[in-house]
Structure formats: structure tokens, C-alpha cells
Amino acid sequence: EVQLVESGGGLIQPGGSLRLSCAVSGFTVSSTSMSWVRQAPGKGLDWVSVIYSGGSTYYADSVKGRFTISRDSSKNTLYLQMNNLRAEDTAVYYCARVLTFLGGTAGPSDYWGQGTLVTVSS
Amino acid sequence: DIQLTQSPSFLSTSVGDRVTITCRASQGISSYLAWYQQNPGKAPKLLIFAASTLQSGVPSRFSGSGSGTEFTLTISSLRPEDFATYYCQQFNSYPQTFGQGTRLEIK
């Protein structure tokens, strides 16, 4: 059974750092593309980042240079390192498995975690 | 960045109704579009990818169509469990983007 379980969220002051984890079971995290998507309270979905099986990464402009996506194959876990956090980063953060199409295009996500809430506030 | 605009943003409708939601892209995205359903406090659920391919396990009352810049999600006959918020997502280019969402409410 495929499961994704996020952890690491919490209350953090502006300018602070936080690392989110996404523990995966049912497939190998390094064998497929994985992404992070966030959702501010009462708002819509906001794509954050993707890591391909080959290691290439892409980021939303709003987080580029502040967030880093990575994975640990030995722990079968996906990470999101978030630095210099801002109030507008407050959201539920979801990790998700990405469908990969012919040619290697990373597509939509078919499995999602339950999300972890990050609140950036003084 | 590619902007996705959904219409309507809100729809009050009834069980048994046929519903169509539109997603328009600010530039052509071929068929690189997906649709999700989200219930309050839950993660999104993938319904359709590549504009018209039904995800495994999704009921056949859901269908998608379109290519280029205009896409539609149709629910042929609404059931009580379909009252939720629906999002489109483009994966033609980075950054990937979502539409603002369409909330279906029971009339």
C-alpha cells in the first residue's frame, strides 16, 4: 500500500528555518519524481517544487533560493528545507508522488500525504 | 508563468445535475492538464490527467476534454459525494500552476 506521511511543520518566526519530511512506503522515493504543493489557509493549491528521479529540481519563483527539495534513498524519505521563512509561506504543505510520462515529463500527482501545517508568525 | 483561470469559481447545484467546469490557460499547453477534487481538510485527489484520461478508480461520470488553451471537466450526474472543490493543473512547463478552484455547493 502506498503511503506518504509528512512531518516537521509547526510555528516558526519570520526569517527562521524548518525542514519538512515525507516518509514514503509502498514505492521507492528515488525511482520516481516527487513534489511539494502547499495550500494557504482558505486558499487554493500552490505548486512549490519537484525533484526528478534523476535528481533535477525545479522551484516556484516565490521559493527559489530559499527552499531546497531533496531525498534520502536509505530512509525512503523526501525533504523540503525551508529557509528565510516569510508570513506568506504559511500553509499546509503536501508531498506527492508525480506521474512521469513518456519523454520524462513530470505530470500531475497521483498519491498525496495528509499535509503538515507550517505557520510563520512572530 | 502560465496562468490558469477556472470558471465559474462557485456553483450552487443539485444532485443529479450535469456540471461543466472550464479551465483556460494563458498560453497553449497541448494536453498537459490535470483535474483534482478536494474535500475540506483533505488532500487533493487526482481525477483526470492528460486532459481526458480518467485516473484509475475514478467513476465514469467524470470526464475531461480540451487541448491548447481551453479545457473542461464534466460531471454527468452529480452525486452527494461530488460536492467539493475542483482544481485544474498544468504541467506543460515550469513552474507548474493551478487554477484558483471551483467550489460546488448543494443548492
Query: pLDDT tens across B56-98, in order?
Result: 999 999 999 999 999 999 999 999 999 999 999 999 999 999 9
Q: What local confidence, expressed as pLDDT, does residue A69 receive? A: 98
CA angle A45, B90, B2 (to 5 degrees): 90
Q: What local confidence, expressed as pLDDT, does residue A103 receive? A: 74
By DSSP bridging, strand B10-13 and strand B102-106 are: parallel
Written as nine digits, the cell of B36 is 483534482
Across the interface, of A61, A101, A108, the residue whose CB is closest to B95 is: A61
Give me the total of CB pairs closer than 8 Å, taking one residue from chain A and one from chain B. Answer: 56
Q: Which of B98, B19, B7 lies closest to A109 in space, CA to CA?
A: B98
Q: What local confidence, expressed as pLDDT, does residue A104 receive? A: 77
Percent of chain B residues past pLDDT 90, beyond the cut: 98
Q: How far apart, in whole angstroms, are the C-alpha atoms of residue A76 and residue A73?
A: 5
Write out residues in chain A with pLDDT < 50, as ranges: none
Q: Is A43 helix (H, G, I), strand (E, B) or coil?
A: coil
Q: Residue A47 corresponds to which amino acid?
A: W
Q: Is B76 helix (H, G, I), strand (E, B) or coil?
A: coil
Length of chain A: 122
**Which residues of chain A have a CB within 8 Å of the CB of B73?**
none
Burial of A35 (0-12, 13-18, 19+ CB in 10 A): buried
Q: What local confidence, expressed as pLDDT, does residue A11 receive? A: 98
Q: In what order do the strands lie in the sheet with B4-7?
A: B4-7, B19-25, B70-75, B62-67
Q: What local confidence, expressed as pLDDT, does residue A64 receive? A: 97
Q: What local confidence, expressed as pLDDT, does residue A100 receive? A: 85
The answer to whether the CB atoms of A44 and B99 lie below 8 A apart is yes
Residues paired with B13 in a beta bridge: B106
The answer to whether the CB atoms of A94 and B99 lie below 8 A apart is no
A42 CA to centre of own chain: 19
Q: What local confidence, expressed as pLDDT, does residue A106 receive? A: 86
Q: What local confidence, expressed as pLDDT, does residue A5 receive? A: 98
Distances in Å between the Cα of B77 and the Cα atoms of B4, B39, B42, B51, B94 are 25, 18, 23, 20, 35
Q: What local confidence, expressed as pLDDT, does residue A105 receive? A: 81
Report the gap between the CA of B103 and the closest CA in chain A (Å).
11
Q: What local confidence, expressed as pLDDT, does residue B7 receive? A: 98
A15 CA to centre of own chain: 19
